[in-house]
Amino acid sequence: MALTPLPLPRLQQAILGTVPVLTDDALARTSGVRVAFTGREGGVSQGAYGSLNVGDHVGDDAAAVAENRARAARALGAVPEAVLALNQVHGTDFVTVREAGAAALEAARAQGRAGADGALVTVPGVLALLCFADCTPIIAVSPAGSFAVAHGGWRGCAGGIGGAAVHRLAEADGVAPDEVNVYIGPHIGPCCFEVGDEVAARFRDEFGSECVTADGRHVSMEAALRVDLARAGVAPERIAAVGVCTQCHPDRYFSYRASGGVCGRHGALAFKGA
Ligand SMILES: [Zn+2]
């Protein structure tokens, strides 16, 4: 039986439960997959972590982070016990969950603790939650109902983590890459992402001059990702990007650079209910 095509991706602001997010309602209706990018609002953390910090490795109060993660989980219709988070290490390794149940989820968590920057989930009932402050969140969703969530730091982006997420997802579900929706979350924009000559040259060599600004010192992670995703077979109309720079908007999003390194993390989340 042919799969129902996904609606073209469209991000809109919404409040899910108690949490303000960017999400795609039509995607959720069609596929059952709920995607969300959280911001700073809706949580209980204080100060530099205020308020919806979902990072558990940044010096915030552990109980506050647990409450924030529980709120984010419930916002997507998940229980807090469904959360799969990763120890993100700026690489390109993925953790895959192909079986339902607590044992498979615990095995994935153990793998995630060892270090990974992508989660591929092909079963209902698992909430992937990745953490960001300037790096680029990537969520890919297949019409068969599986999804991948990835962390694109500059090393991950340069290493092709966006294309890898789509490739792994399409292969797992037996779908074509041009059937996959991709959502690019809030991240540091080319206005602020100043890099050294070596990094600029690496992006120019890998993805073309369109991802480096005219002065040669600023990189657009989104432009690089779009090239990477196009090479992986993603249709341009199936990419939706938030287009907000985190460093320019530290009131709305956590920014490692804007905060001088002490800040919370906003989340990229995906979940499909059982
Ligand atoms: Zn900026």
Cα(245) to ligand 1 centroid in Å equals 5
Cα(187) to ligand 1 centroid in Å equals 9
Cα(191) to ligand 1 centroid in Å equals 4
Cα(184) to ligand 1 centroid in Å equals 16
For residue 1, the model assigns a pLDDT of: 59
How far apart, in Å, do the first and last CA atoms of the chain sit?
A: 21
Cα(254) to ligand 1 centroid in Å equals 13
All residues at 6 or more sequence positions from 198 whose CB lies less than 8 Å from its CB, including other chains: none
Q: Tell me how far apart the alpha carbons of residues 227 and 225 are, in angstroms, rounded to a whole number.
A: 5
Cα(219) to ligand 1 centroid in Å equals 11
Domain boundaries 12-272, corresponding CATH code:
3.60.140.10
Q: Is the pLDDT of residue 182 over 90?
A: yes
Cα(213) to ligand 1 centroid in Å equals 13
Q: Can you tell me the mean pLDDT for 237-265?
A: 97
Cα(120) to ligand 1 centroid in Å equals 30
Q: Tell me how far apart the alpha carbons of residues 196 and 51 are, in angstroms, rounded to a whole number.
A: 33
Cα(258) to ligand 1 centroid in Å equals 10
Cα(5) to ligand 1 centroid in Å equals 35
Residue pLDDT, tens place only, 57-98: 999 999 999 999 999 999 999 999 999 999 999 999 999 999
Helix (H) and strand (E) counts for the chain? Answer: 8, 12
CA 119 to chain CA centroid, Å, is 10
List CB-based neighbours of ion ligand 1 within 5 Å.
Answer: 189, 191-192, 245, 247-248
Cα(164) to ligand 1 centroid in Å equals 27
Cα(193) to ligand 1 centroid in Å equals 7
List the alpha helices (DSSP H) in the chain.
Answer: 25-31, 62-75, 102-113, 154-158, 161-173, 197-207, 221-231, 256-259
Residue pLDDT, tens place only, 218-243: 999 999 999 999 999 999 999 999 99
Q: Can you tell me the mean pLDDT for 166-177?
A: 98
Please report where in the chains the tokens 């600004």 appear, as a residue: 213
Q: Can you tell me the mean pLDDT for 250-270?
A: 97
Residue pLDDT, tens place only, 95-146: 999 999 999 999 999 999 999 999 999 999 999 999 999 999 999 999 999 9
Torsion sign, CA atoms 180, 239, 70, 134: positive
Check residue 31 and give left, alpha or beta (phi > 0: left; psi -120 to 50: alpha).
Answer: alpha
> Partners of 30 in the beta sheet?
none
Confidence (pTM)? 0.98
Residue pLDDT, tens place only, 4-63: 999 999 999 999 999 999 999 999 999 999 999 999 999 999 999 999 999 999 999 999
Q: What are the extents of the domains in the chain?
A: 12-272
Q: Tell me how far apart the alpha carbons of residues 135 and 267 are, in angstroms, rounded to a whole number.
A: 11
List the alpha helices (DSSP H) in 80-220.
Answer: 102-113, 154-158, 161-173, 197-207
Cα(174) to ligand 1 centroid in Å equals 38
pLDDT band at 2 (very low <50, low <70, confident <90, very high): confident
Query: Residue 96 CB: number of other CB atoms within 10 A?
Result: 18
Q: Is the pLDDT of residue 157 over 80?
A: yes
